[in-house]
Amino acid sequence: MHAPRRPAATRRPAAPAVAAAAAALLVLSACGSSAAPGSGKPAELTEFTPAATGQLDRVTWNLPTGEPLSLDPARVGDYSPSTVVSNLCDPLLRLHADYTYGPGLATAWTWTDPTTLVLDLREDVKFWDGNPMTSADAVASLERQQDPATRSANADALRNVTAIEADGPHRVTVRFKQPDQLFVKALTNGFGAVSEASYLAKAGADYGTPGGGLMCTGPYRLGEWRAGESIGITRAGTYWDTALQPKVKELTFRFITDGSTLTGALLSGEVDGSYEINTATARALAHSSAGTLYRGASAQTVFLTPTGPDSPLADPRTIRALQLVLDRDALIRNVYDGAARKLKTFVPALVWQHDPAAATYTAGYDALPPAPAVDLDRAREILAGAPGGRTDITVAVAAGDQQSLQTLTFLQDAARKIGLNVRIKQLQPAELSGLFYDPALRRGLDAVIVLGYVELPDPSSYVQQMTDPGSPFNWAGYRDDTVTAALGEARAATDPARAADAFNRAQAAFVEDLPIVPIAAPDERMFLNRRISGAPATFAYVNMPWAAYLGGTR
């Protein structure tokens, strides 16, 4: 699993994904949206938009979180680069729109014993340059992520790996010092993407940059990357997946981060579509004849996290007091226009609701205490017992991120009622990105509002990063040996039900004392121009070849 994600509206060097929080189970439609393309009516929660029928020469798509810093699949771990790379570099296993997974470049994965995994690769796959993909390419792609110089966003997936070997031209054997089921699930994202070994060696540190390029097996190949302006991808000449042949010849990615500018571009048709539509833009698009606004299940959450052990929020009592002053129903209604869920914990239901042990996860979730209702008297009582006596809390937010700013303003007003003064400090994206890696940049701050997501189809994948004593993202120094042991058991368990039971035990403990304020789990919102359709509507788009489903509506 990955480490915390960047706060909303910032971009930073690729890093692990933050896990999220979730509330009630998200109910997904098994078919397309109930709103016809171009009707202007917001769709109900859905997995896919109506199937595309026509071929298109060009589509312009926006990356609302800005230009990627790298397209190296080993380094992607953020909205913008993942949105692009998911269509360029196929992983060994493929994530589906409902967060299940199956064969990708590997046709099968078999545990021959508890610490030996065998991957059988497809024999009909070619890179864009026409060279066949072999086990040597898969081994090189995985092994390079053991090198700190690669700066892999998924290096934690290798923590138990002792050897990665090519056993024949289309078979890879991975050996572990102890069982690790999470490794398999990590093969669904950039960690599992296969690049051509000879190209990797030649490009070196420039791999994934405008100058170094890429060499992968996906449905699209990297075209022209105009720094600061756009990235182009073009349909690959041949694609191994005969059931998923792209209908769009060329896609151009723009980097419009200003909400008003994006709204105008979508309404005018200058831009055809975008994921991660914020509330203000959604309001402007909801009844437009230019296209359709879709809502899908998301693995994202918004939460407040302390910046260090000396923060007032590092004390669970302060966290509980804040949770008791926050009117989540009003916040979701006014800030998100209803397109969000209340949080009981910080692992979204999409991640586990289609797991083989979904019933066990559901039972564990249902057993958690409900999201607290507003109780000012109880909040004051709890706060009176917190040590330190500090009443001023400085919280960082990305400048220009109006949705998070509105959320903080909501919390600020509520906290004032129990004697806490929440000071909001807006930082430029580069500043905010830096504090995730440099403790010195967190000085003078008590908390950060984060928009995070669970990237892997496993509910324990992020929690480990937030709770492990040695994790660089466990800023408050949280430690609970019961939680650590249970998550380790879940990671090693070969039986899904046993893994779910272990996770539930960890969750029951950390939901009580982990110093995080879960705020809301926003739905995925996507807009498509009336001339296009077919794309998946759920958050799984970050790790699946979503553009290959895209096409014309006639």
User: Which residue is it, tokens 């993407």?
Assistant: 193
Binning pLDDT at 50, 70 and 90, where does residue 198 land?
very high
Which CATH number does the domain 300-522 belong to among 1.10.3720.10, 3.10.105.10, 1.20.1630.10, 3.40.50.2000? 3.10.105.10
Amino acid identity of 251?
Answer: L
Residue 38 scores a pLDDT above 60: no
pLDDT score, position 388: 61
DSSP bridge pairs for 232: 252
Residue 18 scores a pLDDT above 70: no
CA distance 105 to 545: 13
Q: Residues 524, 300: contact at Cβ < 8 Å?
A: yes
Binning pLDDT at 50, 70 and 90, where does residue 437 land?
confident
Query: Could you tell me which residue, 432 or 134, shows the higher pLDDT?
Result: 134
**Average pLDDT over every residue of 214-234:** 96
DSSP secondary structure, 227-286, as one string: TTTEEEEEE-S--S-TT---SEEEEEEE----HHHHHHHHHHTSS-EESS--HHHHHHHT
For residue 193, which of 468, 550, 552, 545 has the smallest C-alpha distance? 545
Residue 25 scores a pLDDT above 50: no
Q: Residues 436, 442: contact at Cβ < 8 Å?
A: no
User: Would you state the structure tokens that stand for residue 526, as one six-digit string?
Assistant: 């996507």
pLDDT digits (tens, 9 = 90+) for 58-90: 999 999 888 998 999 999 988 899 999 999 999
Instruction: Write out the H or E segment, with its range, that includes residue 466.
Output: helix 463-467
Amino acid identity of 194?
Answer: V
pLDDT score, position 452: 85
DSSP bridge pairs for 345: 22
For residue 119, which of 131, 100, 105 has the smallest C-alpha distance? 105
pLDDT digits (tens, 9 = 90+) for 346-382: 888 889 989 999 999 999 999 999 888 999 999 999 9
Residue 9 scores a pLDDT above 70: no
pLDDT score, position 387: 62
Q: Residues 430, 466: contact at Cβ < 8 Å?
A: no
DSSP secondary structure, 54-104, as one string: B-EEEEEEE-TT---S---TTT--SHHHHHHHTTTS-BSEEE-TTS-EEES
Of 46-55, 149-158, 164-173, which range is least confident?
A: 149-158
CA distance 517 to 525: 23
DSSP bridge pairs for 252: 60, 232
Secondary structure class of 333 (helix, strand, coil): helix
Average pLDDT, the chain: 88
Phi/psi for 370 (5° steps) reads: -65, 160
Q: At what angle do helices 316-325 and 402-416 cross, to 10 degrees?
A: 100
Task: Say whether pTM exceeds 0.85.
Answer: yes
Question: Which ranges constitute the DSSP H helices of 63-208?
Answer: 79-85, 135-143, 182-186, 197-203
User: Which residue is it, tokens 């769009």?
Assistant: 248
Q: Residues 44, 295: contact at Cβ < 8 Å?
A: yes
pLDDT score, position 377: 95
Residue 451 scores a pLDDT above 80: yes
Question: What percentage of residues in the chain have a pLDDT greater than 90?
Answer: 71
User: Would you state the structure tokens that stand for residue 411, as one six-digit string?
Assistant: 């919390």
Query: Could you tell me which residue, 554 or 265, shows the higher pLDDT?
Result: 265
User: Would you state the structure tokens that stand for residue 341, as one six-digit string?
Assistant: 């869920």
CA distance 87 to 546: 7
Phi/psi for 143 (5° steps) reads: -65, -35
pLDDT digits (tens, 9 = 90+) for 241-293: 999 999 999 999 999 988 899 999 999 999 999 999 999 999 999 889 999 99
CA distance 371 to 373: 7
